[in-house]
């Protein structure tokens, strides 16, 4: 006779599309989602329309109680969560720091899914920094949360290759697929008490600091390889851009052309069907796709056909 699966009573904390993939897996499992913590509704980037988080949208679809505190520093903001009598809290890209009383409120504690191979890239932007630094691998790590940032004992880890054309968006999709397939296995191991936690090596810890919009401005005094990684790392947010004639032009795609010729840094060397070639500290950055404020993404060549006063050969793009 097959043994009946024992359901866990779960509180889920998450905000993004990455989080929503894990939540959907849990909702469709035999486990019970008692409630959800997600960040408050905020204006979107287009039209400034107040928008629900992807996690809240999914929670609403399945009629799961949702809590959206602006902070967790006061007990009144999370008292309802403590009264749910959950077995465990699962945290995936939530965005707020949990107070100590929540970390210790549930019999099985709080576990966190983090998008890096801890102890590498603790913090807010692990995928972006892994791409930016030219790393060949990333992955997901599931940890038992403690009072420090992403420093808890490792319960599970799985790696994923970073391909030459990967962006933060594409890697998030890969990692959400990997993690959402194994989260149920990890919960089963926790239930059966047959998981062996691994202590992180603090000497190997690196930190992925939070990104800002200002970090997206391209500096051609960097080499082309770094800038190309930057374009992929900052897609979709905060994005990368150049400024010409007081216009902020977003860069969506570029590649590297190796060249020993030396032009002025930031000089537009050539514009053709392949893109716009700009001299960097080392090699040429060939910008292929751009976006003008308020317009759709377009190839540089298409744009240059009707806007040849903005992009001109030998023009220097100032930093």
Q: Where are the domains of the chain?
A: 9-208, 213-306
With both helix axes pointing from N to C terminus, report the angle between 17-27 and 54-61 in degrees, rounded to the nearest 10: 20
Specify the fold of 213-306.
Answer: 3.10.25
> Is residue 156 helix, strand or coil?
strand
Of 103, 90, 107, the closest CA to residue 10 belongs to: 90
In the structure encoding, which two tokens stand for residue 194, read together? 């047959």
DSSP 221: T
Q: Are 23 and 15 in contact (CB under 8 A)?
A: no
Q: Are 274 and 250 in contact (CB under 8 A)?
A: no
- For residues 14 and 67, what is the distance between their CA atoms, to the nearest angstrom? 11
User: What is the reported pLDDT for 1?
Assistant: 42
H or E segment to which residue 303 belongs:
helix 300-306
Q: Rounded mean pLDDT of the chain? A: 93
- For residues 258 and 223, what is the distance between their CA atoms, to the nearest angstrom? 11
Q: What is the largest CA-CA distance in the chain?
A: 78
Q: What are phi and psi of 200, to 5 degrees?
A: -70, 145
Of 12, 60, 17, 20, the closest CA to residue 36 belongs to: 12
Q: How far is CA 198 from CA 103, 108, 263, in A?
A: 19, 17, 52
Report, as ranges of residue numbers, the positions in the chain whose pLDDT lies below 50: 1-2
Angle at 169 between CA 159 and CA 139, to 5 degrees: 10
CATH for the stretch 9-208: 3.40.50.170
Of 209, 226, 233, the closest CA to residue 149 belongs to: 209
User: What is the reported pLDDT for 313?
Assistant: 85
User: What is the reported pLDDT for 197?
Assistant: 97
Q: How far is CA 290 from CA 113, 158, 234, 268, 300, in A?
A: 34, 35, 14, 15, 6
In the structure encoding, which two tokens stand for residue 185, read together? 């296995």
């Amino acid at each position: 006779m097959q043994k009946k699966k024992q359901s866990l009573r779960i509180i889920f904390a998450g905000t993004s599309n990455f989080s929503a993939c894990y939540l959907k897996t849990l909702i469709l499992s035999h486990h019970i989602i008692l409630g959800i913590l997600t960040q408050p509704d905020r204006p979107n980037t287009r039209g400034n329309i107040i928008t629900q988080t992807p996690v809240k949208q999914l929670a609403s679809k399945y009629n799961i109680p949702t809590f959206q505190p602006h902070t967790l520093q006061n007990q009144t903001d999370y008292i309802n969560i403590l009264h749910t009598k959950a077995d465990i809290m699962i945290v995936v890209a939530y965005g707020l720091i949990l107070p100590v009383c929540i970390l210790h409120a549930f019999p099985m504690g709080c576990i966190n899914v983090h998008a890096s191979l801890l102890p590498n890239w603790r913090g807010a932007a692990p995928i972006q920094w892994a791409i930016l630094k030219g790393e060949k691998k990333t992955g997901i790590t599931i940890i038992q949360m403690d009072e420090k940032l992403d420093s808890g004992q490792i319960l599970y880890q799985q790696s994923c290759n970073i391909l030459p054309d990967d962006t933060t968006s594409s890697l998030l999709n890969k990692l959400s697929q990997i993690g959402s397939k194994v989260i149920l296995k990890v919960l089963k191991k926790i239930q059966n008490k047959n998981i062996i936690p691994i202590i992180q090596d603090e000497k190997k810890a690196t930190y992925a600091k939070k990104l800002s919009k200002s970090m997206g401005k391209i500096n051609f005094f960097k080499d082309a390889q770094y800038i190309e990684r930057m374009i992929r790392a900052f897609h979709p947010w905060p994005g990368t851009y150049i400024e010409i004639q007081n216009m902020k032009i977003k860069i969506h795609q570029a590649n590297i052309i190796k060249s020993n010729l030396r032009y002025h840094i930031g000089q537009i060397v050539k514009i053709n069907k392949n893109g716009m070639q700009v001299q960097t500290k080392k090699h040429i950055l060939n910008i292929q796709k751009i976006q003008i404020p308020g317009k759709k993404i377009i190839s540089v060549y298409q744009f240059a056909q009707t806007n040849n006063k903005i992009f001109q050969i030998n023009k220097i793009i100032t930093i």
